[in-house]
Amino acid sequence: MALADLQTVARNEDGIATALGILAQRFGERFQTGQAIRTQHSHTTTYIPSQAPDGVAFVRSTEEVQEIVRVCAEHRVPVIPFGTGTSLEGHVNAPGGGISIDLSGMNRILAVHAEDLDCTVEAGVTRQDLNTWLRDTGLFFPIDPGANASLGGMASTRASGTNAVRYGTMRENVLSLTVVTADGRIIKTARRSKKSAAGYDLTRLFVGSEGTLGIITEVAVRLYGVPEQISSAVCAFPDMEGAVNSVILIIQSGIPVARIELLDEVQMGACIAYSRLEGYQAAPTLFFEFHGTEAGVAEQVEMVKAIAADFGGADFKWATRSEDRTALWEARHKAYYAALSLRPGSKGWPTDVCVPISRLAECILETKKDIAASGMLAPLVGHVGDGNFHLVYVIDPDRPEELEQAKALNDRMVMRALAMEGTCTGEHGIGYGKMDFLVAEAGEAVSVMRQIKLALDPDNLMNPGKIIRL
C-alpha cells in the first residue's frame, strides 16, 4: 500500500495553523510539533505508510480533551485519539492532518468496586497496569489482546484476544464510558448497574467506533476473581486439520477452556527461535489455558487430552508455575515480531477474519492452500476458540509485486470468510484497510452507520478517513 492508496481527507490549512497557535500557547511543553514525535503518533507498526498529525497534545484530564476538541471544532481541524499506538489498521494516522490527542498521561485508576466486580479507569490505563494494581484484591481484568494496549484503545477497537473463549471481548466487558463528543460535550453512556433498559445503548455505539464518533476518556469494566487454579499446556499435532478439529470438538462439547490458541508450523518455528523456547517442535500447535478450581481444572484437562489424542495430539507439555506460564504466553504475544524475524528488513501485513466455529477448519485449510500455492511467507496464529485467526504476510515493502500478491491473498481469504457467514475482522477493526470489506459484509447497514457518523460528527473531524467513506 502506498500513500496514494490511502483514504484522503482535505486539509484545512488555515484552521490547522490557527489551532496549532492556540494549543501551543495553552499547553506549552505538553503540545509538541516536532517531526519525530508527530511520526511516533502515526501508523508505523505495519506496512501501512505513516500520515503524521500536525501536532500532538499530551492531556491529563477529560476537561483538557474537551478543551482541545472545542478548539478543533471551532476551526474545523481533525482530531485523532492516541492510546499506545498498537492498532494494526492505520487507526492513528492523520490523512487530513490535525491534532493527535495522546491519552497515555490519563492513567489513573479512578475507582475499584471489589464487591460489585467492576472498576473505572482513565482511558490511558493499560491492561498490565490495571492487573498489577488489582493484584492484592483477588481480582483481575481478563481481556488480553497481546499488546499492552490502553483500555481506551481496547474499547475503541472492540478488542478481544486470547481469553475471549471464557471471558468474552471488550463488547461484553465494558459497562460504561465517558466520551467527549465532536461538538465538545462530555457524556456518560451508562451507570454502574450491570443491566439497563433505559434508552439507546450508547455504550455499545462507542465501543468499536475507532474514535470516529467521539473520544473515550474513561472506561468502566467488569472484573473477575482470580481462579483458584491456572494451568497452561502446549500440544503439537501432525497436521493443521487435526489441531483445528480438536478445537471445534472442544468448543462444541462445552468445555470451559479459558484460552485456545493455534500456531501453524511456520509461526511455531518462528516463536521457538525468537523466544528461545526449548523442548518444542515446529508443528501445528495448540496453546491451552485452564481456569477454575483444582478439581474443575483437572476435569477440563482430562476431557481436552482425550479429544486431542483422537486427532493425533502429542503429549501435553505443562506450565503450572506462574513464571513458566508467563514465559509461554509472552512467546505467543511476541508472535508478530517473531514472524518479522524470519525475514530481516521486512514489514508485516497483519490481517484477521472470524467465522462460525463449524466452518473454522474449512476456512483455515483453504487459506493455507492459497498461501502454499503463492509461495509467500505468511505465518498463521489464531484465537481459534471463538473462530478467529490471523495471518501476517511478511513482505518487502519496496517490492510492489509482493504488496499486490498479499492484497490478492487477503481479498480471497476475507471473501471466503464472508461467504461462510463470518466477518472481515474479528478484532483488528476496520481502520483504513477493510472499508470495502465492511460494505461487502454489512451492505445497506453501512448507510445507517454513515447517518450516525454524520449526525454525531457532521464536519467529519473525529478520526476522519476510517471505517466508512463519506
Q: Considering only CA atoms, which of 299, 463, 458, 406 is closest in space to residue 47?
A: 406
Within 8 A by CB and 6+ apart from 391, the residues are 350, 351, 352, 367, 371, 378, 379, 380, 410, 413
User: What DSSP assignment string belongs to 417-429?
Assistant: HHHTT-BS-SSS-
Mean pLDDT of 315-333: 79
State what percent of residues in the chain have pLDDT above 90: 80
Cell readout for 140 is 483481575
Q: What is the pLDDT of residues 386-409, one digit of tens each?
A: 899 999 999 998 898 998 999 999
Cα distances from 184 to residues 66, 191, 223, 303, in angstroms, run: 5, 21, 31, 54
Q: What is the pLDDT of residues 50-84, one digit of tens each?
A: 899 999 999 999 999 999 999 999 999 999 999 99
**Confidence band, pLDDT 50/70/90 cuts, at residue 318:** confident
**Confidence band, pLDDT 50/70/90 cuts, at residue 7:** low
Reported in sequence order, the residue ranges of 91-159 that DSSP labels E, i.e. its strands, are: 99-102, 109-113, 118-122, 139-140
Instruction: Return the sign of the alpha-carbon dihedral for residues 12, 13, 15, 20.
Output: positive
User: What DSSP assignment string belongs to 210-275?
Assistant: TTSSEEEEEEEEE-EEPPSEEEEEEEE-SSHHHHHHHHHHHHHTT---SEEEEE-HHHHHHHHHHH
pTM of the model: 0.93
If one compares 40 and 327, the residue with the highest pLDDT of the two is 40
pLDDT computed for residue 423 by the predictor:
97
pLDDT computed for residue 134 by the predictor:
97
Residue 264 near residue 284 (C-beta atoms within 8 A) = yes
Walk me through the domains of the chain, giving residue ranges and CATH numbers. 3-104 (3.30.43.10), 109-225 (3.30.465.10), 229-336 (3.30.70.2190), 338-428 (3.30.70.2740)
The span from the CA of 425 to the CA of 190, in Å, is 27
Beta bridge partners of 128: none
Within 8 A by CB and 6+ apart from 75, the residues are 12, 14, 15, 16, 18, 19
Residue 130 near residue 173 (C-beta atoms within 8 A) = no
Beta bridge partners of 101: 57, 81
pLDDT computed for residue 4 by the predictor:
47
The span from the CA of 149 to the CA of 45, in Å, is 14
Q: Of all helices (H) and strands (E), which one includes residue 414?
A: helix 400-419
- Distance of alpha carbon 309 from the chain centroid: 33
Assess whether pLDDT exceeds 50 at residue 3.
no
- Alpha helix (H) residue ranges in 357-399: 360-374
pLDDT computed for residue 9 by the predictor:
87
Q: Of all helices (H) and strands (E), which one includes residue 165?
A: helix 164-167
Assess whether pLDDT exceeds 60 at residue 24.
yes
Cell readout for 127 is 491492561
pLDDT computed for residue 1 by the predictor:
47
pLDDT computed for residue 5 by the predictor:
53
If one compares 162 and 447, the residue with the highest pLDDT of the two is 447
Mean pLDDT of 137-155: 92
Mean pLDDT of 236-254: 94
The span from the CA of 224 to the CA of 139, in Å, is 5
Assess whether pLDDT exceeds 90 at residue 303.
yes
Assess whether pLDDT exceeds 60 at residue 196.
yes
**Local structure of residue 95 (DSSP, 8 states):** B
Assess whether pLDDT exceeds 50 at residue 2.
no
Q: What is the mean pLDDT of the chain?
A: 93
Mean pLDDT of 335-351: 92
Mean pLDDT of 237-251: 94
Within 8 A by CB and 6+ apart from 135, the residues are none
**Local structure of residue 359 (DSSP, 8 states):** G
Beta-carbon neighbour count of residue 132 at 10 Å? 10
pLDDT computed for residue 391 by the predictor:
94
